């Protein structure tokens, strides 16, 4: 290494103390002077420990440096200023160093080269650019605030949002205070904004590890949207900062709201909804399904939809259903299904396919309406119409038969006067008269059923009427049956035909007696009650209002469901041939209906029967002593 002629010791001392590395070289690159800082800086660049020539050390950039030096035509001056060059390092752990180089020509033979190691600065700048690029690539609006809430960094999305919303760009940029940006909207209260600010300040202090919140926001343009805010802390040289991101979740909120509405519609739907896979395995049912079928959600999820199958739906129905829905078409039809308790119910079903994004069928959804009540009401209506038709026919026949019987009875009476009692024909005429009387009784029952019987109605106390007829009831029931009256203390005013109501009670007593051949108990009770909309919906009949209720209860054999459906039909009887006409309960129904009332029958095999007769109440009741609350008659 040749020495650089430096006569001024003060200048040399100054060069040694400079914060940059200084190297004095000849025009060919030979090093003449090397400050300690320069020696420490270029040591990692030497590949063989030779520090005699700077151009050899800076071999990757030598052509560029030589070109600058040789191209300089002046005798002295600045050849280049702030030339930034990367140089491969030879020291383990440092792959590339970046220098800021200044070259000055001192005279024709000597140059001074000053190096500044900007490797760390360059790396920081590159990392900052990299991080800025990452922040700008994110769709969320992001800012960084310091401990005082001052915004120190924002990304492109933040800039765009503030630019698009006129009026907030100036107060949302770098240097603005973040906590002054947000103001309460119509749906927010100031306290919620204060809580929001308090939470972010806690993040800056380090007392809260992070913060997440969702809020609605009105822009200056009037648009309303939803945002999700996240705040996370970080520290640089002991100073606290927070990264705050604001994500626009308006579309997600709308989707959630729509999904919430759809979920409520399904959950609160008055029809059953069931979703199955393509094999019929149940994946979802709504509450109406569990209410109707009696199965809980846990009991049916994972089960086949055939869990509801009864033997009453024709197999062809299921075959047509599967043939339709597997081709993507909609199937509609009716099922007769079975509840968990084994009872039968009717459903109208609409079944369609659900598809994935590729158009493949993934599930089937069945929307089913319970038809059981409608079927029951329709059956009752048809039955009522049938009974009405039979009643019309029976009434007409009874009138005609009464006319014929009048003639028969008249001529029988005349014949009885024409012949003596000692003649054999007199006995025949008696038989004709008795048969005619039985036929007249039959026509009386037919007229009662058809509601064409002439009535003599008047207001009276139902309790007294029942007390009067109870002595007759006590005579027709057996000694082994305990007959009990349980009458309401207050008078019950009704407008009725006394004879017909007595006939109703006697028929009910006769039926009760026949149902208890081995003895039991028969009770007639009275009370007041109401028929309301719920009663009408449940029973399928009735008119709203207040009623006097007669309840005739026995402890007999009871009635099964099949018999109960026909028990009021004319000529229907369960008794042996010759022991009943089948008109007793039909007449009861006719009489009560003719009085504007209704009958409700409750009975199960082995549990006895209870007939509840509803008669409209009237306000005017004849003055008479009230019936006793309870009276036992018979044995």
Q: What DSSP assignment string belongs to 460-474? A: EEHHHHHHHHHHHHH
Strands 110-117 and 21-26: antiparallel
Q: Is 244 helix (H, G, I), strand (E, B) or coil?
A: strand
Question: End of a domain among 354, 370, 386?
Answer: 370
pLDDT of residue 91: 47
Angle between helices 498-515 and 584-594 (to 10 degrees): 150
Contacts 24+ apart (CB under 8 A), 72-78: 72/105, 74/105, 75/105, 75/107, 75/108, 76/104, 76/105, 76/106, 76/107, 77/104, 77/105, 78/102, 78/103, 78/104, 78/105
User: Whose structure tokens read 């009067």?
Assistant: 468
Alpha helices, DSSP H only, in 419-450?
424-450
The C-alpha atoms of residue 175 and residue 505 are separated, in whole angstroms, by 98
Identify the band that residue 633 occupies on the pLDDT scale cut at 50, 70 and 90: very low
Q: How would you list the strands of the sheet with 31-34, edge to edge?
A: 31-34, 21-26, 110-117, 96-105, 77-88
Q: Phi and psi of 20, rounded to 5°?
A: -115, 160
For residues 485 and 629, state if they share a domain: yes
For residues 314 and 235, state if they share a domain: no
For residues 543 and 561, state if they share a domain: yes
The C-alpha atoms of residue 4 and residue 27 are separated, in whole angstroms, by 12
State the DSSP string of 316-365. HHHHHHHHHHTTT--EEEEEEEE-TTS-EEEEEEEEEEEE-TTS-EEEEE
Of the candidates 310, 372, 321, 378, which has an alpha carbon nearest to the alpha carbon of residue 346?
A: 372
Please report which helix (H) or strand (E) contains residue 564, including its range: helix 561-564
Cβ contact 426:420 at 8 Å: yes
pLDDT of residue 388: 62
The C-alpha atoms of residue 590 and residue 73 are separated, in whole angstroms, by 135
Q: Which domain holds residue 441?
A: 376-450
Cβ contact 176:152 at 8 Å: no
Distances from the Cα of 272 to the Cα of 279, 416, 584, angstroms: 20, 75, 43
- Which DSSP state fits 160? H
Q: Phi and psi of 515, rounded to 5°?
A: -85, -10
Question: End of a domain among 417, 450, 483?
Answer: 450
Contacts 24+ apart (CB under 8 A), 45-49: 45/87, 45/88, 45/89, 45/90, 45/97, 46/90, 47/90
The predicted model gives 609-624 an average pLDDT of 85
Q: Which residues pair with 117 in a beta bridge?
A: 99
Identify the band that residue 632 occupies on the pLDDT scale cut at 50, 70 and 90: very low
For residues 489 and 620, state if they share a domain: yes
pLDDT of residue 325: 94
**Predicted confidence (pLDDT) per residue in 238-261, tens digit:** 889 999 998 888 888 888 889 888
**Predicted confidence (pLDDT) per residue in 331-355, tens digit:** 999 999 999 999 999 999 999 999 9
The C-alpha atoms of residue 137 and residue 475 are separated, in whole angstroms, by 102
**Predicted confidence (pLDDT) per residue in 218-227, tens digit:** 665 566 788 8
Q: Is 612 helix (H, G, I), strand (E, B) or coil?
A: strand
**pTM of this prediction?**
0.46
For residues 492 and 627, state if they share a domain: yes
**Predicted confidence (pLDDT) per residue in 103-136, tens digit:** 888 887 888 888 887 777 666 667 767 777 888 8
Please report which helix (H) or strand (E) contains residue 545, including its range: strand 545-554
For residues 97 and 208, state if they share a domain: no
For residues 337 and 386, state if they share a domain: no
Question: End of a domain among 370, 388, 414?
Answer: 370
Quick check: is 133 in a domain? no
Q: How far is CA 183 from the centre of its chain?
A: 36
Quick check: is 282 in a domain? yes
Q: Is 249 helix (H, G, I), strand (E, B) or coil?
A: coil
Cβ contact 469:568 at 8 Å: no
pLDDT of residue 515: 87
216, HSE (Cβ side, Cα atoms, 13 Å): 11
The C-alpha atoms of residue 246 and residue 165 are separated, in whole angstroms, by 15
For residues 419 and 354, state if they share a domain: no
User: Whose structure tokens read 């019936």?
Assistant: 627
Does residue 192 or residue 555 have the better pLDDT? 555
For residues 233 and 286, state if they share a domain: no
Q: What is the mean pLDDT of the chain?
A: 80
Cβ contact 80:103 at 8 Å: yes
Quick check: is 324 in a domain? yes
Provide the token pair at 283. Answer: 């994946």
User: Whose structure tokens read 């000694």?
Assistant: 479
Quick check: is 587 in a domain? yes
Q: Is the pLDDT of residue 453 over 90?
A: no
The C-alpha atoms of residue 327 and residue 332 are separated, in whole angstroms, by 14
pLDDT of residue 627: 40
The predicted model gives 376-391 an average pLDDT of 64
Of the candidates 342, 348, 344, 368, which has an alpha carbon nearest to the alpha carbon of residue 289?
A: 368
Q: How many domains does the chain have?
A: 5
Per-residue buried b or exposed e for 211-248, using 16+ beta carbons within 10 Å of the residue's own CB:
beeebebbeeeeeeebbbbbbebeeeeeebbbbbbbbb
For residues 362 and 388, state if they share a domain: no
Q: Is 348 helix (H, G, I), strand (E, B) or coil?
A: strand
The C-alpha atoms of residue 390 and residue 124 are separated, in whole angstroms, by 104
Q: Phi and psi of 30, rounded to 5°?
A: -65, 135
**Predicted confidence (pLDDT) per residue in 387-438, tens digit:** 566 556 665 666 667 777 777 778 788 887 778 777 778 778 877 877 777 6
For residues 557 and 470, state if they share a domain: yes
pLDDT above 70 covers a percentage of the chain that reads 79
pLDDT of residue 96: 67
pLDDT of residue 629: 37
Q: Is the pLDDT of residue 292 over 60?
A: yes
For residues 363 and 383, state if they share a domain: no
Average the pLDDT over each of 18-32, 35-49, 145-159, 204-218 and give the range with the smallest value: 35-49
């Amino acid at each position: 290494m040749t020495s650089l002629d430096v006569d001024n010791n003060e200048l040399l001392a100054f060069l040694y103390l400079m914060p940059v590395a200084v190297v004095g070289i000849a025009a060919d690159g030979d090093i003449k002077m090397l400050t300690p800082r320069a020696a420490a800086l270029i040591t990692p660049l030497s590949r063989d420990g030779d520090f005699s020539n700077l151009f050899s050390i800076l071999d990757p950039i030598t052509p560029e440096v030589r070109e600058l030096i040789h191209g300089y035509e002046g005798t002295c001056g600045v050849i280049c200023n702030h030339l930034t060059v990367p140089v491969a390092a030879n020291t383990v752990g440092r792959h590339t160093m970046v220098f800021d180089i200044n070259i000055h020509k001192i005279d024709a033979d000597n140059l001074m080269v000053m190096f500044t190691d900007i490797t760390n600065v360059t790396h920081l700048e590159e990392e900052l650019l990299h991080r800025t690029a990452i922040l700008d690539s994110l769709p969320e609006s992001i800012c960084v605030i310091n401990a005082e809430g001052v915004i120190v960094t924002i990304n492109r999305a933040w800039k765009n949002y503030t630019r698009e919303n006129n009026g907030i760009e100036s107060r949302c940029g770098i240097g603005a205070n973040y906590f002054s940006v947000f103001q309460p909207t119509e749906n927010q209260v100031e306290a919620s904004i204060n809580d929001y600010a308090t939470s972010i300040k806690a993040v800056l202090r380090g007392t809260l590890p992070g913060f997440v919140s969702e809020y609605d926001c009105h822009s200056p343009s009037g648009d309303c949207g939803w945002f999700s805010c996240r705040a996370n802390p970080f520290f640089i040289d002991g100073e606290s900062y927070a990264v705050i991101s604001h994500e626009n979740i308006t579309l997600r909120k709308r989707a959630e709201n729509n999904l919430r509405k759809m979920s409520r519609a399904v959950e609160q739907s008055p029809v059953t909804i069931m979703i199955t896979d393509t094999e019929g395995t149940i994946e979802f049912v709504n509450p109406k399904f569990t209410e109707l079928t009696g199965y809980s959600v846990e009991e049916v999820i994972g089960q086949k939809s055939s869990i509801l199958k009864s033997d009453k739906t024709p197999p062809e129905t299921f075959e047509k259903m599967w043939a339709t829905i597997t081709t993507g078409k909609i199937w509609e039809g009716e099922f007769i299904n079975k509840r968990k308790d084994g009872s039968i119910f009717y459903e109208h079903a609409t079944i369609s396919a659900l598809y994935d994004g590729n158009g493949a069928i993934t599930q089937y959804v069945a929307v089913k309406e319970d038809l059981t009540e409608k079927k029951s009401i329709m059956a009752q209506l048809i039955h009522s119409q049938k009974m009405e038709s039979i009643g019309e026919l029976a009434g007409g026949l009874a009138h005609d038969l009464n006319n014929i019987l009048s003639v028969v009875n008249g001529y029988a009476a005349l014949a009885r006067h024409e012949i003596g009692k000692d003649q054999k024909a007199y006995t025949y005429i008696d038989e004709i008269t008795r048969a005619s009387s039985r036929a007249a009784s039959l026509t009386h029952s037919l007229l009662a059923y058809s509601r064409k019987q002439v009535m003599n109605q008047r207001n009276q106390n139902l309790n007294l009427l029942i007390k009067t007829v109870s002595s007759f009831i006590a005579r027709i029931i057996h000694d082994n049956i305990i007959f009990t009256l349980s009458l309401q203390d207050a008078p019950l005013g009704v407008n009725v035909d006394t004879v017909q109501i007595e006939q109703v009670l006697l028929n009910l007593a006769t039926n009760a007696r026949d149902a208890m051949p081995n003895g039991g108990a028969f009770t007639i009770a009275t009370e007041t009650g109401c028929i309301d909309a719920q009663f009408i919906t449940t029973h399928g009949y009735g008119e709203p209002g207040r009623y006097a209720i007669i309840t005739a209860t026995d402890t007999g054999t009871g009635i099964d469901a099949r018999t109960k459906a026909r028990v009021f039909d004319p000529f229907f009887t369960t008794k042996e041939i010759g022991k009943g006409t089948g008109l007793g309960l039909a007449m009861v129904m006719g009489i009560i209906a003719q009085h504007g009332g209704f009958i409700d029958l409750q009975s199960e095999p082995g549990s006895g029967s209870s007939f509840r007769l509803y008669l409209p109440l009237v306000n005017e009741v004849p003055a008479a002593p009230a019936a006793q609350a309870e009276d036992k008659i018979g044995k």
